[in-house]
Amino acid sequence: MKITVSAKGKSLSSPVDPRFGRCYGFVLFNTDTGNADYLDNSTHRELQQGAGIGAAQMIVEAGTQALITGQLGPKAAKVLGKSGVDVYACSTGTVEEAIRALEENRLKVLNDEAIQPGPGKLGGQGLGGGRQGRGPSQGGRGKGGGRGYGPPQKGR
C-alpha cells in the first residue's frame, strides 16, 4: 500500500505538516517495499487558489491509497474521494510515527465534519466586512457634493 503524509521535510524522520495544500511536500511510503519517496509541493503551495486541488491531483497520480494530514479543504477532499484515497487525521509527530499510527489503527478518518470549509462557506462577511469608507477619514470618495453647511471657508 502507498501511504502519503504531508511533511515539513523529505524523510520519514521529518515532522508532519498539518497543512495539506500548502505543505512543503509529501513523503510517499510504500509498505510493500519499505521505500520512501518525496513529492515536492512548491508548485502548488505558492498558488493563490487551488493549492489543495493541485496537491490532491499530484498525490493521486503518484498512486496514493491513503493520505495522512492535519486538515483538508472541501475541493481537495472531493478530488481524493473520487479517486478512492482514504484520508486520516494526524498533525503532530514524525512521518514515521504517523505511518505507524495508521498501521496500528490509531488514526481517525477525516470525514466531512473535519473538512475545512472554504472562504465564505460559513456565512461570514469575509475580511473587512465592507463597513467603512476608503481611507483614514472613513469617509466616501471625496468627489464633492457638499451642501454648504458650516462656516464659510477662506479661499474657496
Q: What are the residue boundaries of the structural domains of the chain, listed by start?
A: 2-114
The pLDDT, as a whole number, for residue 153 is 63
Q: Which fold has domain 2-114?
A: Nucleotidyltransferase; domain 5 (3.30.420)
Residuewise pLDDT in 10s, the chain (156 residues): 999 999 999 999 999 999 998 899 999 999 999 999 999 998 877 767 778 899 999 999 999 999 999 998 999 999 999 999 999 999 999 999 999 999 999 999 986 655 666 554 444 444 454 555 555 555 555 555 555 555 666 665
Cell of 55: 496537491
pLDDT of residue 127: 47
Q: What is the pLDDT of residue 155?
A: 62
pLDDT score, position 51:
85
Residue 120 has what pLDDT? 41
Identify the burial level of 105 via C-beta atoms within 10 angstroms of its C-beta, where 0-12 means exposed, 13-18 middle and 19 or more buried.
Answer: exposed
pLDDT at 84: 95
Please give the pLDDT value at position 112.
60
Q: What is the per-residue pLDDT for 28?
A: 97
84, HSE (Cβ side, Cα atoms, 13 Å): 5
Q: What is the pTM of this model?
A: 0.72
Angle CA 86–20–114, to nearest 5: 60
